[in-house]
Amino acid sequence: MIFVEKYICNSRELLPGRHLRQTFNLSLERIDIVFSTRQKQMSVSVKKLCDDLEAASKLEKRGKAFKRICEVFNSDAHVVSWKFNEWDYGKNSIHLPCNARGLFISESLEDPRIVARGYDKFFNIDEVYFTRWDWLTENTKGPYEITVKENGCIIFISGLEDGSLLVCSKHSTGPRDDGSRNHALAGEKFLRRQLEARGINPITLARKLYEMNATAVAEYCDDSFEEHILEYSKDKAGLYLHGINLNQQSFSTLSMKDVHEFAECYGFNCIEYLTIESLDSLKDFLEHCSTTGSYKNKEIEGFVIRCKTLDDSAFFFKYKFEEPYLMYRQWREVTKDYIKTKSRIFKFKKHKFITNKYLDFVIPLLRKNPKLCEDFMADIGIIKLRKMFLDHYGFSGIEILNHERIQELELQNAVDYDKVDESTKFLFFPIATIGCGKTTTALTLTNLFPNSWGHVQNDDITGKDKKMLMKKSLELLAKDGMKAVIVDRNNHQFRERRQLFEWFEELKEDYLPYDCNVKIIALSFFPYEEISSVYELAVKRVLERGDNHQSIKASAKGEKKVLGIMRGFVDRYQPVVQEKSPDNQFDLVIQLNVREKDSSLSNAENILRELHRHYPILIPQLPTHATIREALHKSLQYRPSVTKIVKGGSRNQNKDSKFKPVYFFAGIRNKNVLIDCVSSLIEEKVKEPFLEQKLQRALGSEKTQPEFHITLCHVVSGKNGSKEQKDMWCEFNKRYSKKLLKSNSSSDVRGSSMKTGDVVKFRLHKLMWDDKIMTLLVQLEKECVHDGKSGDIVPRLSCANKFSHITVSILQQGVKPFYSNELCERMEELHPTEEGCFSDGLNCFEFSNPLEFDAEVCIQL
């Protein structure tokens, strides 16, 4: 088999030496001379390219180049990797020194050489203006080589002058100690096994590619290493060779015929391809294949099309199928979300019916098998789990998408969250304090509709299961004929409302069908500006009712104790803020008035009027005033049958003389100053305007955490952590032992926090984010707590967490702030060497010359 031996340049491109002999009838000696001259010219050209790249690396934003020095496997050599931000490619307003997506240059200053080169970045149909069909018609010419788009990770293979193989991933090569998956290493190992099986010395391949001055471009597809969407089991795994590029600044690549010859010689898997002469025929072919998402009865991701522009320059574009890969990716992501949150995600944009069927099948398997969850998060077993579901369901992915009955079910049974009909159910969350009449109002409503409205009181639940309130509420709501349930708790803080929403998301489908639409309505009993007058009225009511309450019994506790409990509720009261999480999740907020005479009656009437206006399906006709008054009179006869023992009473006074802290934290005094710092960093560092706008919006919205803090030491670390963390927990408890005495505080209700007066000093270090959360990594001293009065360092007090951080914004609904720890762990594993490095969806920018801030040490009870 004959391959390219040497390349020289004609008027347009580099041609193989054998073609030169045919075309120019030159002697081998003459070819060597011309080739040598060409090499010198290329060296000068690469020097100029290096200068341009170095200049681009100093740019602030648009067109900035990123440089990375990489070791070479099994060699003392180093190469330089150059890359640009993905969004800088293909823009008319940005000129890049080289459009290669993957560019490696030798480290030599005197005689630099491009040692590996990827394709020029190419785009999907209609993704940019020069991949629109009308542009392609006017600016490209056939033949069009159509190659099947394999689904793996790209690998570049070339050779160095000393006979060393150079195997690279898109932007790196060589050994790494950052703990992340090394695609280049996996690719090299597979390549060496491939050559060994053919009896080929790796040096032979390296020298061949060096002499050709070319890079072999392959897709490494191997489910035993990394699963994507398509399946590559052992017999299909391998390096699929789909291109051979010349190592030069301008893009030049060999035909698929030459690529196939090279692949067969060196044991690569061959990419399927075909040639079509006209663009109209190409378009017909692609559109036909897209209807099934397959080629030759095999599911594929799409095609890469190779052609030339009218001036004979190489030009690539791609045609990706939307389905079934969108559906498969959705299954993968909802599975990962479920494993992370243990909460079933059920609001999908597409494929609602079949994705819920998929979750019905996989969730029981995930619950029973922790190893299955662990493997899935490591991208192992994704395809196996998908195939298990498809086998169970009896259809392939394409059959599901094209099956008429399933399409009908998607339309008929998928949840439309805006639709309200006979099957819609309702949950009511009061926002109130003690003595506002919420229970009387709730009982009035359930007396009006005894067969279709239910009422669950938190004070009737005496067990330790915190979620029992929601479990009981959903259990009642699930009964036949039940339309609405009032979840009777004060819910006077954002934290409590958020808790109810989280429990609902987690438990809903344990009790209700996935396609059951539930509307959640807030009953806001008073605005914040009325809090003083409402407190006085509520105190009067509570003292008048005496012991007619499960836990607040005036005669047993005494007036002073009751007043202390009520003052604690009022001091912690956070009114409804509809623009802010979690209150922005309510489908409707009904504003009520506590100060009116007969407020329970007027509030019940107000609730019914609002429901009749917004949800006539629930209240088709308003009850008469007399009927409502009769229902109220009945509710006033209510006597609690449960007595709830509240910790802190006389029976537990000695046992619970001290508060039990949940964690110690540094509370940020002015979070707006930190938000301004983050905003300035985003404005300075983020290059993509759309991304910058998105992040800036997240800073000024309900996604931003209501309070900023740095967790210093958590009870979980004190119980289950390392010896150092357990010791730290003890030190914090010793330091603030007097503060924790209940006799020193007016509040004994769990969920509140207290200030200590001590101070923590910190600096902002890095801003990190992915699609779920935005987090600040901060720097603290080893002993970071200062006495609030003297300013002296408090010995033995520091941050017990591995990563000191501040959760800034929750970017995806359902994500918990604790996820910040996972983000920090990933950052440590990746060790990004470039600012703004994008890997595994994680992004990072470092603060330069950060200011020092103070925060106050607080105790969360």
pLDDT beyond 60 at 301: yes
- Are residue 581 and residue 708 in the same domain, yes or no? no
As a whole number, mean pLDDT of residues 58-83 equals 86
CATH number, domain with residue 719:
3.90.1740
End-to-end CA distance of the chain: 77
Q: Give pLDDT tens digits for 135-183.
A: 999 999 989 999 998 878 899 999 998 888 999 998 888 876 655 678 8
CATH number, domain with residue 210:
3.30.470.30
pLDDT given at position 831: 52
- Are residue 620 and residue 749 in the same domain, yes or no? no
d(CA 173, CA 70): 6
**What phi and psi, each to the nearest 5 degrees, are found at residue 77?**
-75, 160
Tokens describing residue 447: 């007396």
Tokens describing residue 279: 């663009």
- Are residue 517 and residue 617 in the same domain, yes or no? yes
**Confidence grade of residue 1 (pLDDT, cut at 50, 70, 90):** very low
| Catalytic residue of the set 6, 83, 121, 149 | 149
- Are residue 659 and residue 768 in the same domain, yes or no? yes
- Are residue 50 and residue 23 in the same domain, yes or no? yes
pLDDT given at position 851: 79
* Residues 629/601, Cβ–Cβ less than 8 Å: yes
User: Is 314 a domain residue?
Assistant: no
E-strand stretches of 525-662? 588-591
pLDDT given at position 365: 93
As a whole number, mean pLDDT of residues 237-241 equals 91
Q: What is the DSSP string of 278-299?
A: -HHHHHHHHHHHHTTTEETTEE
As a whole number, mean pLDDT of residues 64-89 equals 86
Mean per-residue pLDDT of the chain: 81
pLDDT beyond 50 at 649: no
Residue ending a domain, choose from 225, 246, 270: 270
- Are residue 367 and residue 515 in the same domain, yes or no? no
Q: What is the DSSP string of 409-428?
A: HHHHHS--TT---TT-EEEE
**Confidence grade of residue 38 (pLDDT, cut at 50, 70, 90):** low
Q: What is the pTM of this model?
A: 0.47
Enclosing domain of residue 779: 653-860
pLDDT beyond 80 at 11: no
pLDDT beyond 70 at 21: no
User: Is 747 a domain residue?
Assistant: yes
Peptide bond before residue 616 is cis, with ω within 30 degrees of 0:
no
**Confidence grade of residue 294 (pLDDT, cut at 50, 70, 90):** confident
- Partnered with residue 666 across adjacent β-strands are 710, 857
Q: Give pLDDT tens digits for 834-857.
A: 455 545 678 888 888 777 888 999
Residue ending a domain, choose from 635, 668, 690: 635
- Are residue 709 and residue 822 in the same domain, yes or no? yes
User: Is 132 a domain residue?
Assistant: no
Tokens describing residue 98: 């080289």
Q: Which of 82-96, 400-414, 522-536, 716-730 is the least confident region?
A: 400-414
pLDDT given at position 9: 37
Tokens describing residue 293: 């998402």
pLDDT beyond 90 at 118: yes
- Are residue 599 and residue 486 in the same domain, yes or no? yes
Q: Which amino acid is at 645?
A: I
pLDDT given at position 744: 62
pLDDT beyond 80 at 421: yes
pLDDT beyond 90 at 59: no
CATH number, domain with residue 556:
3.40.50.300
Domains identified in the chain, total number: 4
User: Is 566 a domain residue?
Assistant: yes
pLDDT given at position 529: 63
Q: Give pLDDT tens digits for 488-512.
A: 998 888 889 989 998 888 788 778 8
- Are residue 497 and residue 595 in the same domain, yes or no? yes
Residue ending a domain, choose from 378, 406, 434: 406
User: Is 414 a domain residue?
Assistant: no
pLDDT given at position 408: 60
> Residue 717, Cβ neighbours under 10 Å: how many?
20
- Are residue 619 and residue 673 in the same domain, yes or no? no
User: Is 413 a domain residue?
Assistant: no
User: Is 318 a domain residue?
Assistant: no
**What phi and psi, each to the nearest 5 degrees, are found at residue 316?**
-120, 150
pLDDT beyond 50 at 24: no
What distance lies between CA 506 and its chain's CA centroid? Answer: 18
CA dist list (Å): 135 to 24, 91, 141, 309, 575: 36, 15, 11, 11, 57
**Confidence grade of residue 20 (pLDDT, cut at 50, 70, 90):** very low
d(CA 320, CA 554): 71
- Are residue 441 and residue 377 in the same domain, yes or no? no
- Between 484 and 463, the higher pLDDT residue: 484
User: Is 808 a domain residue?
Assistant: yes
- Are residue 628 and residue 658 in the same domain, yes or no? no
d(CA 90, CA 71): 30
Task: Confirm whether 149 is a catalytic residue.
Answer: yes
Tokens describing residue 66: 């990123």
pLDDT beyond 50 at 16: no
Q: Give pLDDT tens digits for 560-607.
A: 665 656 666 677 788 888 877 788 889 999 998 877 778 889 999 999
Give Cβ neighbours of residue 625 (< 8 Å, ≥ 6 apart): 605
